[in-house]
Copies of this chain bind each other. A is one copy, B any other.
């Protein structure tokens, strides 16, 4: 869709010309959610110059694969991703869903190799931030350094939340937590808190939540029967936010 103008066949890199460069961070309306958060105007312009390029990823294509060399982290400009890990024996699990303003690729820093796959769930665009440049810049700009540390730490805290979910919650609680989390993140991006389109399949939701797709489907149906949500395929309307929240705090034992 309006994509055919880009045709460097390998990887759809959009080299930053003077005009696109200008647009990198300083013109970006995700500034407040993304890496530049808290930076002053001149600092943002420095960051602009570090952002190497933008890259378009079509639906179902990988931004990176597990095993590839790590060189950059990515800020999602638009679109929607999942990350997943593959075990030797073939089992795999979705470790997260990422949306605009969020950062992808930090798993690769530790071993200089990506440890998971990042796959676009819809046509997407990311800003490529070469990691060595980010490190250099964050040695110069204290605010950037601090904010990047917060971003990494937030990922750790998020992961702990998922561990909690997988370790202690029952199927319907997991799905309720998942929906509320999506709602909250869409809201932060200016979309409706109550109505949205799921970009992922039941199977992918199940993988993320440690459930089988049938269980996810049944939980959706049950929520609908109870008037908590309306589901039609991937179209979700949250009818009773508080009711969903209650599911989480209501302790069975």
Contact = CB atoms under 8 A, between A and B. Distances in A.
A116 B150 CA distance: 16
A168 B87 contact: yes
B110 A160 contact: no
Contact of A115 (B107, B160, B167, B208): B160
Point out which of A153, A159, A161, A249 has the most chain B C-beta atoms below 10 A from its C-beta.
A153
A68 to B, nearest CB: 15
Contact of A107 (B157, B168, B249): B157
Copies of the protein in its oligomer: 2
Nearest to A251: B89
Contacts of A91: 164, 168, 251
Interface stretch (A12-20, A141-149, A215-223): A141-149
B116 A153 contact: no
A168 B115 contact: no
A61 interface: no
Nearest to A112: B150
A139 B251 CA distance: 46
Interface residues of A, number: 50
Contacts of A150: 109-110
B142 A135 contact: yes
A164 B208 CA distance: 9
B142 A107 contact: no
Contacts of A106: 152-153, 156
Given A109-B150, A116-B160, 5 more contacts: A89-B250, A91-B168, A93-B163, A135-B142, A152-B153
13 contacts: A93-B164, A95-B160, A107-B153, A108-B153, A110-B151, A116-B160, A135-B145, A138-B139, A156-B159, A159-B160, A159-B162, A163-B166, A166-B167
Interface of A: 85, 87-93, 95, 106-111, 115-116, 135, 138-140, 142, 145-146, 149-157, 159-164, 166-168, 207-210, 248-251
